[in-house]
Each structure stands twice: as structure tokens, then as C-alpha cells.
Amino acid sequence: MKRIVLAGGCFWGVEEFFSRIHGVTNTEVGYANGRTTNPTYEDVCYGNTYFAEVCVIDYDENIISLEEILNKFWGIIDPTALNRQGNDIGSQYRTGVYYVDKLDEEIIRKNIEKIQKNYIKKIVTEVKTLENYYRAEEYHQKYLKKNPNGYCHIKLD
């Protein structure tokens, strides 16, 4: 089993999208790479903690590769938008790929290099090691499964 952590704007839609992908074994939402400990959703929304809303993705690399996951990710975000996705604006809505396996960094960087040619503007998605992570409150977990008509900036159908 492998793990990658993706920031793609509001985490509800990212989680719902990836939970539907064959080979993804688990998803969870939370806050990553911020400056404090044990943040709440309100702390993150306030903007001074610098956490990103993220989706943790556990996957079976015998079924789906990291490159395939990344290619799906680029299809649901605008990697050239800084600190925003859709109507959501703020550093918590930045795009990022946070790896736990150092060997994944090269795969991620090469993938970005490859897709950059599809964009006029520079890709601003950050690529970093996962420095810290805090699981979001329970009401955020599987939010769009519990609230099928909830807000989502990602086209899911």
C-alpha cells in the first residue's frame, strides 16, 4: 500500500472524487503542512496557520500508479491558480502534492514537467514532503457521501 496527500481546494470534492477510483483503498481529509499543532477547521479558515486542506489517499500500486493518480488530479484542479480553486480563495485552498515516500518526489516532478506543456501559465502546485498532518473533524470525513447536495467545486458526474 502506498500513500500520497493531495491539496486541491476544498477537500470535500477531492475526497469524493478519489474515493470512486479503482485502486484507491482509503481516503481521509485533513490539514497539512501548517505552522501550528492540532488546528481546527476554524483555525485553518482564519488563514494564519498556513495549513492546506488535503485528502490523504491510500492506494494499491499494483492496481493504480502514482502517475495515474496525478493525471486524474490535474483533471480536477487548476494547477496554475495560486491559493484558490473555483470560488474558494485562501492559502488553505492552494494546490499541493505532499509525499511520504522520498522516491515519489522524482515521479511527481517529472509528471509536472510533462503536463506543464498543456498550460500557458506556470504550474504553481507545490511539491513537498508531508511535514505534518492533522485529521479533520469527523463531520468533514466523507462529507459529500453524507451530504450529496453539498457544495463542490469539482464536477463529479
Query: Hey, which residues are catalytic here?
Result: 10
- Give me 146's grid cell: 453524507
Q: How far apart are CA 20 and CA 32, in angstroms?
A: 23
Local structure of 99: helix, strand or coil = strand
- Give me 8's grid cell: 486541491
- Give me 104's grid cell: 515519489
Q: How far apart are CA 1 and CA 61, in angstroms?
A: 7
Q: How far apart are CA 133 and CA 127, in angstroms?
A: 15
